[in-house]
Amino acid sequence: MFSALSSVFRPIMRLGLVSQIALGIVAGVLLVIISPEAAQSVALLGQLFVLALKAVAPVLVFVLVAAAIAGHKQGQPTHIRGVLMLYIVGTLVAAMVAVVASFLIPTELTLDLSGVSGNPPSGIAEILTNLLLSAVANPVTALMEANFIAILAWAIGLGFMLRNASESTRQGLNDLSDAVSGIVRGVIRLAPLGIFGLVANTLAEAGLGALLEYGQLLGVIVGCMLFVALVTNPLLVFWQTRRNPYPLVFECLRGSAITAFFTRSSAANIPVNLALCERMKLDADTYSISIPLGATINMAGAAITISVITLATANTLGIPVDFPTALILSVVAALAACGVSGVAGGSLLLIPLATSLFGVPTEVAMQVVAIGFVISVVQDSTETALNSSTDVLFTAAACHRAEAKQG
């Protein structure tokens, strides 16, 4: 019996990871069609996969960043400045794309929800204050709570302090980094099974019926994200590299966006992105910092969600919005998106911040947030796929540009 099973699964194991994930998606859909009850019973596979990624990501980021900085030699170049510029420009462009699309395709909502409550931030000052306070959190607490701002701050500080340590100490830190990376590679190899469980459980529980009522809103959001992924991001990459951007774009979408779509967490996808950067042979000193940083501040998808839903709310309430005001909204959305936590649904509670520009009451804004959670099965998955794959794309673009200059 074992030999029979081995002969069945051996061809599958020879496939690449992306092909195995595609098979997991198809298997999950088929299981939902055949037996929804059985589909819900495999949810544990998806939960274990996501939890494993979330568990290993903080430790990996802390060790990898500290080891990269501690082992950095004087005069050895990094490309963080170029990556940061692309993060900022890309997020702002995405917000402006959302504003233009909202003017071209005005959308209205049915605000008939009641009793919705929440605790959104009161302004950008509060978001920036929270980010600053997060940076000085206790390192043990930061690791336990996956506070990546504090993890980065402590890892960078520790890395700089260890640059003058003995060679054996720095080598020990590198060995620890390699060991944690090995654990991550083992977790990622389980992605096909994890995504099989996620797909089966999501479709069995939510289905697509709940999305039909808000189809236009969802269509505008997803359309903007596809436009950014396939048009504006490639233009930014071409601006940096001066060569055909699409091979790089599709490589990042295949290697990062697929897993991010189903985990719905930029933080959980950090190990996947780091492994992808390693396969692409990018500069380790750059991506060990830019990838966890991107999971925190590079939020083009979140800027799109905030802008589109905010303008749909204004249309519903009959609030006139001129284009200059909408551009201000895009700037606010881009700044607010930088404060989005890298977890599922993180952008939705920032919608009241943007709607406050138009005097929308918090009670109404929270009803809109509730609508956001209805469509989040697709919206949040697509948003995370765009955010996470763009982290790798912009890191690769900055590294390739630097290599071209040196060559």
Two structure tokens written together for 94: 């995405």
Give the pLDDT of residue 245. Answer: 96
The CATH number of residue 211's host domain is: 1.10.3860.10
pLDDT per position as a tens digit, 86-111: 998 998 899 899 999 999 998 888 76
Residues 6 or more apart in contact with residue 310 via CB below 8 angstroms: 329, 333, 351, 354, 355, 357, 358
Whole-number Å distance between alpha carbons of 241 and 295: 23
pTM for the full model? 0.75
Start-to-end CA distance of the chain, whole Å, equals 57
Residues 6 or more apart in contact with residue 258 via CB below 8 angstroms: 18, 21, 195, 385
| 340 Cα distance to chain centroid | 10
What one-character DSSP code corresponds to residue 105? S
Sole residue written with tokens 């980010």:
131
CB-based contact 232:390 (threshold 8 Å)? no
48, pLDDT greater than 70:
yes
Q: In whole numbers, what is the pLDDT of the chain averaged over residues?
A: 80
Strand residue runs (E) in 94-237? none
Of these ranges, 49-63, 113-127, 171-185, the one predicted with the greatest mean pLDDT is 171-185
Backbone angle region of 165, left / alpha / beta, with phi > 0 → left and psi within -120 to 50 → alpha: beta
Whole-number Å distance between alpha carbons of 127 and 356: 15
Quick one: average pLDDT of 240-254? 95
Sole residue written with tokens 């802390």:
62
209, pLDDT greater than 70:
no
Q: How many domains does the chain have?
A: 1
More confident residue, 117 or 318: 318
Sole residue written with tokens 């697929």:
258
User: Considering only CA atoms, which of 384, 383, 344, 348 is closest in space to residue 368?
Assistant: 348
Give the pLDDT of residue 360. Answer: 76
What length is written for the chain?
407
Residues 6 or more apart in contact with residue 146 via CB below 8 angstroms: 54, 57, 58, 267
User: Considering only CA atoms, which of 156, 107, 153, 119 is closest in space to residue 134?
Assistant: 153
226, pLDDT greater than 70:
yes
pLDDT per position as a tens digit, 374-401: 687 788 889 999 999 999 999 999 999 9
What one-character DSSP code corresponds to residue 357? G
113, pLDDT greater than 50:
no
pLDDT per position as a tens digit, 31-47: 878 887 787 778 888 88
Give the pLDDT of residue 115. Answer: 45
CB-based contact 113:368 (threshold 8 Å)? no
**pLDDT band, very low/low/confident/very high, at 60 (cuts 50, 70, 90):** confident
| Residue percentage of the chain with pLDDT more than 70 | 81
Give the pLDDT of residue 117. Answer: 41
Q: Cα–Cα distances in Å, from 362 out to 244, 299, 311, 313, 339? A: 46, 24, 15, 12, 19
Q: Which amino acid is at 297?
A: I
306, pLDDT greater than 80:
yes
More confident residue, 102 or 150: 102
Strand, helix or coil at 96? helix
The DSSP annotation for 178-220 comes to HHHHHHHHHHHTTHHHHHHHHHHHHHHHTTTHHHHTTHHHHHH
Whole-number Å distance between alpha carbons of 59 and 142: 10
202, pLDDT greater than 50:
yes
Q: Which domain holds residue 104?
A: 2-406
Give the pLDDT of residue 119. Answer: 46
Give the pLDDT of residue 194. Answer: 82
30, pLDDT greater than 50:
yes
Give the pLDDT of residue 389. Answer: 96
Give the pLDDT of residue 114. Answer: 46
Q: Give the other-Cβ count within 10 Å of 407's Cβ.
A: 5
